[in-house]
Chain A
Amino acid sequence: MRRLLFCILCFAFSNSLAQQVDWIGFEKLQESLRKQPRPVLIFVHTSWCRFCAMQLENTFTDKDVVNEIQSAYYAVSLDAEQKDDVSFLKKRYRYKPAGSGSGYHELAEFLGRKDGTLAFPTTVILSASLQPLGQFQGFLNASNLLQLMENARITELNDVIK
């Protein structure tokens, strides 16, 4: 019995320390925003992109990054090659084949395209009212991501003052 209790305690303890970001999908985002407005961090990636994997493995496990995201953000993960339709702000975004077996999701193109091309990973920050605050194409380490979130906060403040 004491051993069981110990195990439960251990479990609870390790859970509270769990260094990970809880990713949600777009379908849950609007519902969550209605309940509690928070800025949104969107991580646009593909399964083959090695710098995406590095950002997931190194940046999104960093203690400060996890704390900041878990306490103040909704984190949304978007696979740029997913085939399912996504409805976002009443608009339906679909997978868009480009021929020869390749193609991207319209929502990934909408969020991440720069000079006509997508590059991965792309990190996008939206305000709690879904206005764009920051976008970054390429790998972000922990301090750069925290800086991007800080810049987004300043941008939002400036927008309000404006």
Chain B
Amino acid sequence: MRPFLLPVFSLFSFFSYAQTGAITGKVTSGGQPLEFANVVIKSSAYGNVAREDGSFDIAKIPFGTYSIIASAIGYESQTKQITLSQENPVVVTDFSLSESSATLEEVVISGTMKEVSRLESPVPVEVYSPQFFKANPTPSIFESLQNVNGVRPQLNCNVCNTGDIHINGLEGPYTMILIDGMPIVSGLSTVYGLTGIPQSLIERVEIVKGPASTLYGSEAVGGLINIITKKPSAAPAVSVDMMGTSWGEVNTDVGLKFKAGGKAQSLLGINYFNYQNPIDNNGDGFTDVTLQDRISFFNKWSFDRGENRVFTVAARYVYEDRWGGEMRWAPEYRGGDQVYGESIYTSRWEMLGVYQLPVKEIINFQFSTNGHRQNSYYGTTSYSADQYIGFGQVTWNKQAGKRHDLLLGAAYRFTYYDDNTGATSGVEGENNPSVTNLPGLFAQDEISINSSNKLLLGMRYDYNSVHGSIFSPRINYKWSSHNKKNVVRLSAGNGYRVANVFTEDHAALTGARQVVFNEALLPETSWNGNVNYVKKMYTRNNTYIGLDATAFYTYFQNRIIPDYETDPNKIIYSNLDGSAVSKGISLNLDVSLESGLSMLVGGTMMDVSITENGVTTRQLLTERFSGVWSIGYTFGKSGFSIDYTGNLYGPMRLPLLGELDNRAPYSPWWSVQNIQVTKTFGSDWEIYGGVKNLLNYTPPANSIARPFDPFDKNVQFDGNGQVVPTPDNPNALTFDPNYVFAPNQGIRGFLGVRYLLNR
């Protein structure tokens, strides 16, 4: 009775003051009392807080007409008009607030030392934010990856500048590229997986070096690059980023977000890159940098569903026209033997999505499908190829007890590949496209032994319709110290991959050399082990120091390695009669100071070699040392910041054309360094500019052999097809664009502007 009597009694007391009244009532939401709701009279000091039963009262209010507002965080506020007067001194008014989806957001202040992405799995995953890549802005993630220790975007061709990603010395085909965890790239298209996604729509880039979790199959021996795009809810409403360089390159990124109905949200990203200014600074008569015209659209939809279930679908389309060659090349020379040019038209589409089944268990259906069409001429050699890949996967994530986190799954991949070379012809020369079916099953168990020890066991079985059964086990172990400042990770697994030389090896299709298969190529098999140690330190003056050290070892029992050296006019492919090893150590140092200085410095030392018939040789185009750094400083609240980034590479063994070739057999030490200044204006605008390749490093001018005779018209061959040295050709060379270890683009300035509209 007492709680009821008390307010009644207090109301009586108000009547003794003639000129004041009171407001009383109840605040509820969905019929439930809303304790701690605030009820205040607008523009006054009068107000009170709702009690446990939702009731409130505000006393001693002078007569008058007022707006009263009831509010509680997480709910829509409600306003009511009331009048207190002599006749009506006590007003009873109830509020019913509805839940709001808005966040507290508008009052957030933001500092510099903060993190948005995770790094916690037993598998050592490196996570990079778009902020990290902004320190050295580039038109695509492909180029941006040069800022990551142990990862090197490698150009494979001096003329067409197509490339692949090397991770710890292993080439592109050993790297898997994913968008939102879905494999989208295989063979034909490494670079295209990494171009054309506006960087403002990227949430983070995850990199795993060495074999990743069993979820991703056994092909990615070198590692994987997973581009996670933003959820539409987390993306800015509008983002625009435009950058130009003194070479005439222009890159434009546009990101837009829109709502469709109450339940669907969509992101649209458009990327346009254009470079149409042939430059020949090294005087070899060839374009230093390939001319490119590329447009890409990315559209992602996400749908709100009950129980926070996931449903997203995304599509991407890329079209690119690129050419490189003699300076006076024009499209009418395409395919002809008058003026040398390499011209590639690429069109590519992708669709991918995740749908969580409407059941109690966490079961996801994921799919991706893509089509890739390349129409190209390398001089007079035509290469025209089509590839279609369909991929579907069902995964079931189950927490079993407190210790076991199970992931069970079934996957299916279909690959269709057809080109105009001998790779897809039957015995009688008829066209015979290659079709591969690859069903698989996998299971993994993440076992939390205790708070310091985690074990991840994985098994996978795939059936390749051409090569049969593939079994791949994985083991990962993570130990972290009690205070989480020391972490050790161990991982081991195997790799299994079917090589496709035409889609993977650029040199195989330039026609500069004859392609020879000595025998039927078998799948590549390998074993890999990694040890990773992470140490975090916090000093008393709030400096963070992080160390991340990794040792890696991969042993290939079979590896398909193109042999350029036995015969300079041929590329010979055969199974490896011996073994190949990739081993090394890498170290990253990460320092952040409260003053605004932050730096990430990394180095990798590695040895990648092939042992055949008792002879060990170094892998071509692979450095023994590489270093990378990114140092940034923010000048307090002035809005200015400066970034200094760079790379340093040790010598690489280079592919020569025989004994008489006068080009250097090893590349020198080389370094590319960049500096950038950024100024932000409010929260919407940002202007950035700087200088790339400060040291103006470019590879030697004689990198392309015999650029003056690209069709080998003045080369004399003997009866066996070998080049004969002649006074005109004393080094017995043929035209060769495959001697390339560094980008052929010297110092240049750049300037860009970013606009971001949130809401």
Q: Which residues of A contact B (CB under 8 A)?
A: 30, 33-34, 46-54, 57-58, 88-91, 94-100, 102, 106, 109-122, 124, 126, 129-132, 134-141, 144, 160-162
Q: Taking the nearest CB of chain A, how far is it from the CB of B703, in angstroms?
A: 42
Question: Looking at the complex, which one of B43, B74, B230, B485 makes contact with A162 (CB distance below 8 Å)?
Answer: B43
Establish whether residues A89 and B35, one from each chain, have CB atoms under 8 Å apart when the complex forms.
yes
Establish whether residues A54 and B36, one from each chain, have CB atoms under 8 Å apart when the complex forms.
no
Contact with A along B137-166 (1 / 0, CB 8 A): 000000000000000000000000000000
Segment at the A interface, from B106-114, B559-567, B688-696: B106-114
Contact with A along B101-120 (1 / 0, CB 8 A): 00111011111111110111
Residue numbers in A under 8 Å from B236 (CB-CB)? 115-116
Residue numbers in B under 8 Å from A49 (CB-CB)? 115
Q: A161 vs B43: C-alpha distance in the bound complex, in angstroms?
A: 8
Residue numbers in A under 8 Å from B226 (CB-CB)? 100
Other A-B pairs beyond A100-B181, A135-B104, A138-B114, 20, CB < 8 Å: A47-B484, A48-B118, A48-B120, A50-B115, A50-B546, A51-B113, A51-B544, A53-B538, A54-B538, A99-B181, A99-B310, A111-B103, A116-B758, A117-B116, A119-B110, A121-B114, A124-B104, A131-B73, A136-B111, A139-B114
Residue numbers in B under 8 Å from A112 (CB-CB)? 103-104, 108
Question: Looking at the complex, which one of A51, A98, A106, A134 makes contact with B114 (CB distance below 8 Å)?
Answer: A51
Cβ of B18 within 8 Å of any chain A Cβ, yes or no, is: no
Which residue in chain B gives the minimum CB-CB distance to A107?
A: B74
Task: Tell me the B213-262 residues at the A interface (CB within 8 Å).
Answer: 226, 228, 230-231, 233-236
Q: Taking the nearest CB of chain B, how far is it from the CB of A88, in angstroms?
A: 7
Establish whether residues B180 and A99, one from each chain, have CB atoms under 8 Å apart when the complex forms.
yes
Residue numbers in A under 8 Å from B47 (CB-CB)? 160
Which residue in chain B gives the minimum CB-CB distance to A161?
A: B45
Q: A30-B36, A51-B115, A89-B73 are in contact. Are A100 and B308 (CB under 8 A)?
A: no
Q: Taking the nearest CB of chain A, how far is it from the CB of B548, in angstroms?
A: 12
Which residue in chain B gives the minimum CB-CB distance to A127?
A: B38
Residue numbers in A under 8 Å from B168 (CB-CB)? none
Residue numbers in B under 8 Å from A136 (CB-CB)? 108-111
Task: Tell me the B549-598 residues at the A interface (CB within 8 Å).
Answer: 592, 594
Cβ of B612 within 8 Å of any chain A Cβ, yes or no, is: no
Establish whether residues A99 and B364, one from each chain, have CB atoms under 8 Å apart when the complex forms.
yes
Residue numbers in A under 8 Å from B758 (CB-CB)? 115-116
Q: Taking the nearest CB of chain A, how far is it from the CB of B96, in angstroms?
A: 12
Q: Taking the nearest CB of chain A, how far is it from the CB of B111, in angstroms?
A: 3
Establish whether residues A58 and B540, one from each chain, have CB atoms under 8 Å apart when the complex forms.
yes
Residue numbers in A under 8 Å from B354 (CB-CB)? 99-100
Establish whether residues B180 and A57, one from each chain, have CB atoms under 8 Å apart when the complex forms.
no
Establish whether residues A50 and B544, one from each chain, have CB atoms under 8 Å apart when the complex forms.
yes
Task: Tell me the B408-458 residues at the A interface (CB within 8 Å).
Answer: none
Establish whether residues A57 and B310, one from each chain, have CB atoms under 8 Å apart when the complex forms.
no
Residue numbers in B under 8 Å from A126 (CB-CB)? 73
Cβ of B29 within 8 Å of any chain A Cβ, yes or no, is: yes
Q: A115 vs B362: C-alpha distance in the bound complex, in angstroms?
A: 29
Cβ of B52 within 8 Å of any chain A Cβ, yes or no, is: yes
Residue numbers in B under 8 Å from A138 (CB-CB)? 110-114
Q: A96 vs B74: C-alpha distance in the bound complex, in angstroms?
A: 17
Q: A48-B119, A50-B536, A116-B235 are in contact. Are A137 and B103 (CB under 8 A)?
A: no
Q: Taking the nearest CB of chain A, how far is it from the CB of B31, in angstroms?
A: 10
Q: Taking the nearest CB of chain A, how far is it from the CB of B726, in angstroms?
A: 60
Question: Looking at the complex, which one of B38, B109, B230 makes contact with A131 (CB distance below 8 Å)?
Answer: B38
Q: A97-B308, A100-B181, A116-B236 are in contact. Are A135 and B109 (CB under 8 A)?
A: yes
Residue numbers in A under 8 Å from B683 (CB-CB)? 115
Q: A116-B235, A119-B110 are in contact. Are A90 and B34 (CB under 8 A)?
A: yes
Residue numbers in B under 8 Å from A53 (CB-CB)? 484-485, 536, 538
Cβ of B337 within 8 Å of any chain A Cβ, yes or no, is: no
Cβ of B507 within 8 Å of any chain A Cβ, yes or no, is: no
A-B pairs with beta carbons under 8 Å apart, 11 shown:
A49-B115, A53-B485, A99-B354, A106-B308, A110-B73, A111-B104, A115-B758, A116-B234, A116-B758, A130-B36, A137-B108
Establish whether residues B73 and A130, one from each chain, have CB atoms under 8 Å apart when the complex forms.
yes
Q: A129 vs B75: C-alpha distance in the bound complex, in angstroms?
A: 14
Cβ of B344 within 8 Å of any chain A Cβ, yes or no, is: no
Establish whether residues A58 and B109, one from each chain, have CB atoms under 8 Å apart when the complex forms.
no
Question: Looking at the complex, which one of B43, B110, B231, B364 makes contact with A114 (CB distance below 8 Å)?
Answer: B110
Which residue in chain B gives the minimum CB-CB distance to A137?
A: B110
Q: Taking the nearest CB of chain B, how far is it from the CB of A50, in angstroms?
A: 6
Q: A114 vs B52: C-alpha distance in the bound complex, in angstroms?
A: 31
Establish whether residues A113 and B114, one from each chain, have CB atoms under 8 Å apart when the complex forms.
no
Residue numbers in A under 8 Å from B105 (CB-CB)? 113-115
Q: Taking the nearest CB of chain A, how far is it from the CB of B60, in angstroms?
A: 15
Cβ of B32 within 8 Å of any chain A Cβ, yes or no, is: yes
Q: A98 vs B485: C-alpha distance in the bound complex, in angstroms?
A: 28
Question: Looking at the complex, which one of A88, A97, A102 makes contact with B118 (CB distance below 8 Å)?
Answer: A102
Task: Tell me the B352-368 residues at the A interface (CB within 8 Å).
Answer: 354, 356, 362, 364
Q: Taking the nearest CB of chain B, how far is it from the CB of A135, in angstroms?
A: 4
Q: A100 vs B228: C-alpha distance in the bound complex, in angstroms?
A: 9
Q: A10 vs B680: C-alpha distance in the bound complex, in angstroms?
A: 55
Q: Which of B34, B36, B47, B107 lies at the interface centre, i.e. has the most chain A CB atoms within 10 A of its CB?
A: B36
Question: Looking at the complex, which one of B38, B99, B114, B356 makes contact with A137 (CB distance below 8 Å)?
Answer: B114
Residue numbers in B under 8 Å from A134 (CB-CB)? 107, 109
Q: Taking the nearest CB of chain A, how far is it from the CB of B130, in angstroms?
A: 11
Q: Taking the nearest CB of chain A, how far is it from the CB of B316, in angstroms?
A: 17
Residue numbers in B under 8 Å from A57 (CB-CB)? 538
Establish whether residues A120 and B233, one from each chain, have CB atoms under 8 Å apart when the complex forms.
no
Task: Tell me the B35-63 residues at the A interface (CB within 8 Å).
Answer: 35-36, 38, 43, 45, 47, 49, 52
Q: A138 vs B312: C-alpha distance in the bound complex, in angstroms?
A: 30
Which residue in chain B gives the minimum CB-CB distance to A155?
A: B107
Task: Tell me the B495-550 residues at the A interface (CB within 8 Å).
Answer: 536, 538, 540, 542, 544, 546
Q: Taking the nearest CB of chain A, how far is it from the CB of B113, in angstroms?
A: 4
Q: Taking the nearest CB of chain A, how far is it from the CB of B593, in angstroms?
A: 11
Establish whether residues B233 and A116, one from each chain, have CB atoms under 8 Å apart when the complex forms.
yes
Residue numbers in A under 8 Å from B203 (CB-CB)? 117
Q: A160 vs B45: C-alpha distance in the bound complex, in angstroms?
A: 5
Establish whether residues B29 and A90, one from each chain, have CB atoms under 8 Å apart when the complex forms.
yes
Q: A137-B109, A162-B43 are in contact. Are A118 and B36 (CB under 8 A)?
A: no
Which residue in chain A gives the minimum CB-CB distance to B203?
A: A117
Q: Which of A50, A134, A144 lies at the interface centre, i.e. has the most chain B CB atoms within 10 A of its CB?
A: A50
Residue numbers in A under 8 Å from B111 (CB-CB)? 136-140, 144
Contact with A along B307-347 (1 / 0, CB 8 A): 01010100000000000000000000000000000000000
Question: Looking at the complex, which one of B103, B120, B235 makes contact with A47 (CB distance below 8 Å)?
Answer: B120
Cβ of B72 within 8 Å of any chain A Cβ, yes or no, is: yes
Q: A129 vs B71: C-alpha distance in the bound complex, in angstroms?
A: 11
Q: Taking the nearest CB of chain A, how far is it from the CB of B100, in angstroms?
A: 9
Q: A98 vs B310: C-alpha distance in the bound complex, in angstroms?
A: 7
Which residue in chain B gives the minimum CB-CB distance to A138?
A: B111
Residue numbers in B under 8 Å from A109 (CB-CB)? 103
Question: Looking at the complex, which one of B99, B109, B113 makes contact with A91 (CB distance below 8 Å)?
Answer: B99
Which residue in chain B gives the minimum CB-CB distance to A141?
A: B542
Which residue in chain B gives the minimum CB-CB distance to A118?
A: B116
Q: A130 vs B119: C-alpha distance in the bound complex, in angstroms?
A: 33
Q: Taking the nearest CB of chain B, how far is it from the CB of A39, in angstroms?
A: 13
Establish whether residues A89 and B310, one from each chain, have CB atoms under 8 Å apart when the complex forms.
no
